[in-house]
Every structure is written in C-alpha cells, then in structure tokens.
C-alpha cells in the first residue's frame, strides 16, 4: 500500500479471499438446508410411529398381528412378537428423503395383562 491507496495486486488478492469465503458460506448453507429437511422427515416418521403404537395399544391383544399401512408419504410395516403377557412391536417407517429411501426402526412393548 502506498500513500494513494491499495495497489491493483492487493485488491485482486482481497477479492480472491472474499470469494473463497463467500463460496464456503454458500456450501455450508446448502448442507444446513439438507440436514434440516432430513431432520424434519425423521421427526415426521417418529410422529407416525407414535400414532401407530397408540392405535395398536387401543386394540385388543388377541387381534394384535403384523401389518402394513401408508400414512401420507410414510410407508409403515410392523411385526408383533408375543412373549407371555407382553407383545413386542417393531415398526419400520420408510420415506424418501430426496437422495433415496430411508428407514427408521421403532420398537415398543404392549402389555396384555388383564386389568385389575
């Protein structure tokens, strides 16, 4: 730098550094947007799983069997494993996340003990 201001070389170097920084921020923003969308879809699958578990709990234990359903953009399939007075329900939720099909697995235990 001289008394009259910046030289052309200094200005070009500053522009290159600024461009690299702006491109880095843009790449980070794209990644954050993808991660936010992915988290939203996983959160939606957990809401669907919670709803399905409540529906299965509300039914009769004698009729509790494996099955499948579609809720909005989520595909559900569940299995029931009896163990005495308990039923272990494993629920797999599949959904498209824009890069392919993802699956989330949830499990719960339902008591079939007679109420007192």
Fold of 8-111: N-terminal domain of TfIIb (2.20.25)
> For residue 8, what pLDDT band results from cuts at 50, 70 and 90?
confident
Sequence ranges of the domains in the chain: 8-111
- pLDDT of amino acid 30: 85
pLDDT per residue over 71-105, tens digit each?
999 999 999 999 889 999 999 999 988 788 999 99
- pLDDT of amino acid 81: 95
Q: Can you tell me the distance from the alpha carbon of 24 to that of 98, in angstroms, rounded to the nearest whole number? A: 23
What percent of the chain has a predicted confidence (pLDDT) above 70? 97
Whether 76 and 70 have beta carbons less than 8 Å apart is answered as yes
Whether 113 and 85 have beta carbons less than 8 Å apart is answered as yes
* Terminal alpha carbon distance of the chain: 88
């Amino acid at each position: 730098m001289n008394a009259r201001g910046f030289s052309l070389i200094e200005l070009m170097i500053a522009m290159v550094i600024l461009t690299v920084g702006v491109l880095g921020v843009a790449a980070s923003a794209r990644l954050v947007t993808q991660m936010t969308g992915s988290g939203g879809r996983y959160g939606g699958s957990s809401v669907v799983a919670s709803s399905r578990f409540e529906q299965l709990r509300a039914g009769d234990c004698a009729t509790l069997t494996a099955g499948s359903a579609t809720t909005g953009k989520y595909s559900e399939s569940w299995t029931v494993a009896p163990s005495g007075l308990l039923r272990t329900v494993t629920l797999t939720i599949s959904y498209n996340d824009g890069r392919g099909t993802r699956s989330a697995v949830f499990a719960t235990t339902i008591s079939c003990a007679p109420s007192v």
